[in-house]
Amino acid sequence: NFVETNPFPVTDTLMARGQQRYQINCLPCHGPQADGNGITKKIGAMPVVANLLDKNAIIIPDGQVFHIIGQGKAPNMQGYAANIEINDRWAIVAYVRSLQRARFATLEEVPAADRATLK
């Protein structure tokens, strides 16, 4: 059983930290959009990398994403528990969820006051 949702409040500070930690630790493999098209795939070092925008990645609980960051996922992903502190793993979870949301959100999910600013 995994924690369903991130236990930390999603704030600008948490998101900025998550983005920073994602760019350092996750972006090389998962890419800037989290679609699995990072540099390791492009150069052929890891031909198969998880697409974090895939439905299966979106529907798993936040706690499972946290667990995968820390313990890794066979066959290709090593665990990062020794390299990424607990709070930073939760920040990465929040950031990954924001990338997923940005990719699949509908216009109706955007607050009315913010819709006018969209192109």
Chain-centroid distance of CA 61 in Å reads: 12
The larger pLDDT score, comparing residue 89 to residue 112, is at: 89
CA–CA dist 52, 29 (Å, integer): 11
- For 58-109, the pLDDT digits (tens) are 999 999 999 999 999 988 899 999 999 999 999 999 999 999 999 998 888 8
The larger pLDDT score, comparing residue 46 to residue 12, is at: 12
Q: What is the mean pLDDT of residues 19-26?
A: 98
pLDDT for 119 beyond 80: no
Do the beta carbons of residue 61 and residue 7 sit within 8 Å? no
| 3-class state of residue 77 by DSSP | strand
